[in-house]
């Protein structure tokens, strides 16, 4: 039975102290609902803070014993840690910064240190419980360092991470002094989830620009791991809000809400007090609506529910004061003896009152300035399951807009005019159109509910875990390396095909700056000195460079993917190559370089290569697409091939490749041992040309036909040293 270890800042149980005794209450929120709904096949353990500062060791032990039967493990935080880690770095640094309120971001080293310390404290508790075969799911911005901490101690365990708030654009994220540490922390996970594609795209962009990891369709390769970055929009418990009979109405305020609705249209606004929610903007927009549309005076009410939050933070205190003043101004300016435009409640509502408001409200006005998802919008739509009457006005800055945009009226929350126009449209909308819009949204919300969200994330993480375990490519270490070493030692005649860039030497922005170092020369000299070895450097490099760097060694070479071959100390040209096409393509490439500073052309005897290693990756990909389109018309009916390597595009004769050069040497005699090693797509031709008994080795974690893989140049060198009998 699989075990799922869930780690979040808060447990689904909150501890409160009353009259000297501890009381346990369920924590509110969709996360607990979704994860508790997971298939019972998962034996769940939940690790988190229980919401109370507990200092007494006896009391801590008592809480552990109370929570253990519920499969909950508490992490106890001190007052200082709550202040610096939670109220500090999490809510005064990450929260404003990730929501684009950089003017509120605090850059404080003490808070950062506390954040690191508490993430490590969560790791220490996690370490006590983890065992082989577990799957870990870490949640949200308070624990972004935790995946890496777990990975370092448990390298083979499956780790998921989900961010419940927006991930900002690279230009905003890069401002953080601790940006790389945060990214490295998250990238310790195997699967990383976001609410929207935009957040996912921003994360991948930051990962590339700050840590250098490139992705292919959301997949990153880090060391020997494949990391899946994907979109998993969080849903709600649809039935809980859709079925009014399932939640008995026992709240006296529900009747008052119905009386109010009997005489007036209700516009509903529900938020936690937070500067990201756009509450003052909403009040000003409603004031504009009343001023410009006096026919609605006395006929509509804005009911504003503002739930208290972080009352000890300066920005929140100022926000509360601003909202109080604005509401007072609107009511005093436009109110009458029997009508107040805004009914403002600074408190939370119980479930019965809230769902009554959802069901009775004609319009939900949900206009955050920035919001990771916003489940209130979804709850409102679900509550209309029975009546099919109501209009959702939704900010285009809320994550939920990508699921609800076919039914909601979307607005820019900064535009008072757009909100005014949306209110008019909603108030005048026919019942038929309201029903049509609601049904479109409800179909989605029923299917993609919170249970679906949790189950899908875990399902995809499990698929990735199984895939990584069942891959056909074996890491060349341990028993696998011993087996290859044995075959190597027993063979009397050996043939070794070795790529250069990315295999023997790491890449560099300047291709000429990777001349062989002492380590590479020592390995090649050692291999060549063994008379049983025939070493072939099979590279895309031009012959002049290979000759200058390696010509003094007793090795053979294939240059420009087999255009030139060096055998018995002499270079000879492949008879299938022509160069009449090169001037036209050179003109095209020169135009490309003129428009792309930082890129350059490498001219070889019978091929041309355009390098874009030092430019923006997205710009490079755009230029590659342009180049391919133009090249299609330029070289029609010519036997040319375009190869895309690591930040390089090469044009060469199609009848020549590394595989054909490999076949030339393989066919010379019956070799006792044949090895081919390389790092990019061009080296797949080498692997395909090896005999069935050949040893094919892919450097890196990309998809490959090779039997074995090594993570990088460092492991390649260790492997060759093992073959040479060196440590």
Domain residue ranges in the chain: 3-231, 239-447, 474-576+656-723, 582-653
Q: Give start and end residues of each alpha helix (H) in 49-139.
A: 57-67, 79-81, 95-98, 109-129
Q: H or E element: which one contains 44?
A: strand 43-49
- Is the domain 3-231 a CATH 3.30.465.10 member? no
Alpha-carbon span 698 to 706, nearest angstrom: 6
Alpha-carbon span 607 to 543, nearest angstrom: 11
Alpha-carbon span 265 to 427, nearest angstrom: 8
Question: Domain 582-653 is in which class?
Answer: alpha beta
The string of DSSP codes covering 163-203 is --S----HHHHTTSTTHHHHHHHHTTSSEEEESSHHHHHHH
Instruction: State pLDDT tens for residues 413-436.
Output: 999 999 999 999 999 999 999 999
CB-CB contact of 230 with 460 (8 Å): yes
Considering the candidates 230, 274, 362, 499, report the single residue annotated as catalytic: 499
Q: What is the mean pLDDT of the chain?
A: 90
CA neighbours within 13 Å on the CB side: how many for 108? 18
Look at residue 248 and tell me whether its pLDDT is greater than 60: no
pLDDT value, residue 40: 67
Instruction: Using pLDDT thresholds of 50, 70 and 90, give the confidence band for residue 534.
Output: very high
pLDDT value, residue 245: 63
Instruction: Give the tokens for residue 156.
Output: 């083979």
Instruction: Give the tokens for residue 221.
Output: 């390769």
Across residues 659-685, what is the average pLDDT? 92
Look at residue 629 and tell me whether its pLDDT is greater than 90: no
Across residues 168-186, what is the average pLDDT? 97
Among the listed residues 164, 220, 165, 231, the one whose alpha carbon sits nearest the alpha carbon of residue 190: 220
Q: Is 184 a catalytic residue?
A: no
> Which SS3 state, helix, strand or coil, does residue 463 take?
helix
User: What fold does the segment set 239-447 form as a domain?
Assistant: Rossmann fold (3.40.50)
Among the listed residues 295, 335, 331, the one whose alpha carbon sits nearest the alpha carbon of residue 427: 295
Instruction: Using pLDDT thresholds of 50, 70 and 90, give the confidence band for residue 30.
Output: low
Q: Give the predicted TM-score (pTM) of the model.
A: 0.78
Burial of residue 690 (CB within 10 Å: 0-12, 13-18, 19+) is buried
CB-CB contact of 699 with 503 (8 Å): yes
> Do 239-447 and 3-231 have the same topology in CATH?
yes
Which of the pair, 341 or 23, is modelled with greater confidence? 341
Pairing mode, if any, of strands 640-644 and 648-653?
antiparallel
> Which SS3 state, helix, strand or coil, does residue 432 take?
helix
CB-CB contact of 555 with 598 (8 Å): no
Across residues 702-711, what is the average pLDDT? 85
Alpha-carbon span 533 to 307, nearest angstrom: 76
Alpha-carbon span 695 to 481, nearest angstrom: 11
Give bridge partners of residue 343 from the DSSP assignment.
303
Alpha-carbon span 406 to 140, nearest angstrom: 29
CB-CB contact of 396 with 403 (8 Å): no
pLDDT value, residue 574: 81
Q: Give start and end residues of each alpha helix (H) in 448-581.
A: 450-470, 479-490, 518-529, 543-550
Q: H or E element: which one contains 565?
A: strand 564-567
> 474-576+656-723: CATH homologous superfamily?
HAD superfamily/HAD-like (3.40.50.1000)
Look at residue 185 and tell me whether its pLDDT is greater than 80: yes
Length of the chain, in residues: 727
- Other CB atoms closer than 10 Å to residue 44's CB: what's the count? 16
Region of 532 please: left (phi>0), alpha (psi -120 to 50) or beta: alpha
Pairing mode, if any, of strands 708-710 and 608-611?
unpaired
């Amino acid at each position: 039975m699989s075990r799922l270890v869930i780690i979040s800042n808060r447990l689904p149980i909150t501890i409160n102290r009353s009259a000297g005794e501890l009381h346990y209450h369920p924590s509110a929120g969709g996360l607990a609902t979704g994860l508790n709904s997971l298939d019972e096949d998962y034996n769940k353990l939940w690790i988190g803070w229980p919401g109370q500062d507990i200092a007494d060791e006896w009391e801590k032990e008592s809480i552990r014993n109370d929570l253990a039967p519920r499969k909950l493990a508490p992490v106890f935080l001190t007052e200082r840690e709550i202040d610096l880690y939670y109220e500090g770095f999490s809510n005064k640094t990450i929260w404003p910064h990730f929501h684009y309120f950089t003017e509120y971001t605090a850059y404080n080293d003490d808070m950062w240190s506390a954040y690191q310390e508490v993430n490590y404290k969560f790791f220490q508790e996690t370490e006590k419980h983890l065992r082989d075969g577990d799957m870990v799911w870490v949640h949200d911005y308070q624990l972004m360092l935790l995946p890496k901490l777990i990975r370092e101690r448990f390298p083979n365990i499956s780790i998921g991470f989900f961010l419940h708030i927006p991930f900002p654009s690279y230009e905003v994220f890069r401002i953080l002094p601790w940006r790389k540490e945060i990214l490295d922390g998250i990238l310790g996970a195997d699967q990383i989830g976001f609410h929207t594609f935009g957040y996912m795209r921003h994360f991948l962009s930051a990962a590339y620009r700050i840590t250098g990891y490139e992705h292919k369709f959301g997949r990153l390769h880090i060391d020997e791991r494949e990391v899946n970055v994907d979109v998993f929009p969080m849903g709600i418990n649809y039935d809980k809000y859709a079925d009014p009979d399932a939640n008995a109405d026992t709240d006296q305020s529900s009747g008052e809400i119905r009386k109010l609705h009997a005489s007036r249209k209700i516009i509903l606004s529900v938020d936690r007090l937070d500067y990201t929610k756009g509450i003052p903007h909403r009040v000003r927009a409603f004031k504009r609506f009343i001023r410009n549309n006096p026919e609605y005076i006395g006929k509509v009410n804005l009911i504003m529910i503002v739930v208290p939050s972080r009352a000890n933070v300066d920005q929140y205190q100022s926000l509360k004061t601003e909202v109080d003043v604005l509401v007072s101004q609107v009511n005093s300016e436009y109110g009458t003896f029997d009508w107040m435009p805004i009914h403002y409640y600074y408190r939370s509502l119980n479930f019965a009152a809230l769902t009554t408001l959802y069901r009775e409200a004609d319009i939900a006005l949900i206009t955050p300035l920035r919001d990771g998802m916003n489940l209130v919008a979804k709850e409102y739509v679900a509550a209309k399951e029975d009546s099919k009457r109501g209009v959702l006005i939704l900010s285009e800055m809320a994550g939920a807009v990508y699921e609800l945009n076919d039914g909601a009226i979307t607005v820019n929350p900064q535009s008072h005019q757009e909100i005014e126009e949306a209110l008019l449209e909603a108030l005048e909308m026919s019942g038929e159109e309201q029903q049509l819009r609601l049904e479109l949204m409800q179909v989605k919300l029923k299917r993609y509910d919170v249970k679906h969200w949790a189950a899908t994330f875990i399902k995809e993480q499990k698929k990735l875990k199984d895939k990584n375990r069942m891959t056909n490519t074996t890491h060349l270490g341990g028993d696998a390396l011993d087996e290859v070493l044995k075959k190597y030692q027993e063979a009397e005649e050996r043939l070794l095909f070795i790529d250069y860039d990315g295999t023997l030497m790491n890449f560099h922005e300047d291709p000429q700056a990777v001349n062989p170092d002492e380590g590479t020369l020592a390995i090649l000299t050692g291999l060549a000195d063994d008379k049983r070895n025939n070493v072939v450097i099979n590279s895309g490099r031009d012959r002049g460079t290979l000759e200058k760097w390696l010509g003094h060694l007793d090795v053979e070479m294939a240059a420009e993917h087999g255009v030139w071959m060096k055998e018995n100390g002499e270079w000879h040209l492949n008879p299938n190559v022509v160069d009449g096409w090169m001037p036209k393509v050179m003109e095209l490439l020169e135009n490309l370089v003129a428009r792309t500073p930082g890129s350059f052309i490498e001219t070889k005897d019978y091929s041309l290569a355009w390098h874009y290693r030092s430019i923006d990756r997205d710009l490079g990909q755009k230029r590659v697409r342009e180049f391919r389109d133009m090249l299609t018309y330029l070289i029609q009916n010519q036997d040319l091939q375009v190869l895309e390597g690591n930040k390089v595009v090469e044009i060469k004769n199609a009848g020549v490749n590394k595989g054909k050069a490999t076949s030339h040497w393989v066919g010379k005699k019956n070799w006792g041992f044949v090895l081919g090693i390389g790092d990019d797509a061009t080296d797949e031709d080498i692997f395909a040309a090896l005999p069935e008994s050949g040893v094919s080795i892919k450097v890196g974690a990309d998809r490959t036909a090779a039997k074995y893989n090594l993570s990088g140049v460092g492991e390649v060198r260790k492997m060759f040293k093992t073959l040479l009998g060196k440590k």
